Amino acid sequence: MSAEYQSFSPAVQAEMKRLKEHDALAFIFPIWWWHLPAMLKGYVDRVLNNGFAYGANHLHHHHALWIGLAGESKTQMKKRHYDEAMTQLLNVGIADYCGISNSKVEFLYETLESNPSHYDMLLNQAYQLGLNYGKDQ
């Protein structure tokens, strides 16, 4: 069933309209249990519907950027391949499935660190990701 024949809430319709107005997507989120937080997972479930984002139609976006805020270190994320699992889920399971072939996942590590210079480094890293968004894909 295509999206034009489905009934969506006004909030979901507003999000679909907003997605149509842009050619790229960026999601910044905290990592919960090695996955998307419930609010973002719910957004994906409610807005990226069959017939709108996949199936008969796909998203028209050229790029997707996923920035996961990890309280853990890079070593801890790699220990059980959580980074690879999340990257596969976001790049292939969501973005590619919805027609976005240029999807990139980045992690900002140790976001619970209390050292101000660490936060400066994380903010600079996030700034650089946004500044170069789409240029390297």
Query: What is the CATH classification number for the domain harbouring 127?
Result: 3.40.50.360
Asked if residue 12 is part of any domain, the answer here is: no
Asked if residue 4 is part of any domain, the answer here is: no
The Cα–Cα gap between 43 and 129 comes to 23
Asked if residue 10 is part of any domain, the answer here is: no
Number of domains in the chain: 1
Query: CB neighbours of 93 closer than 8 A, spacing ≥ 6?
Result: none
Asked if residue 27 is part of any domain, the answer here is: yes
Structural domain for 25, as ranges: 21-40+48-131
Task: Enumerate residue ranges in the chain where pLDDT < 50.
Answer: 137
Indicate the pairing of strand 63-69 with strand 24-30. Answer: parallel
Asked if residue 125 is part of any domain, the answer here is: yes
CA dihedral in degrees (54, 59, 60, 65; nearest 10)?
Answer: -130
Asked if residue 6 is part of any domain, the answer here is: no
What was the pLDDT predicted at 3? 58
Question: H helices of the chain, where?
Answer: 10-20, 38-47, 74-79, 82-88, 116-131
- What letter does residue 90 receive in the DSSP assignment? I
What was the pLDDT predicted at 136? 55
pTM of the predicted structure, to 2 decimals: 0.90
Are 70 and 28 in contact, with CB atoms under 8 Å apart?
no
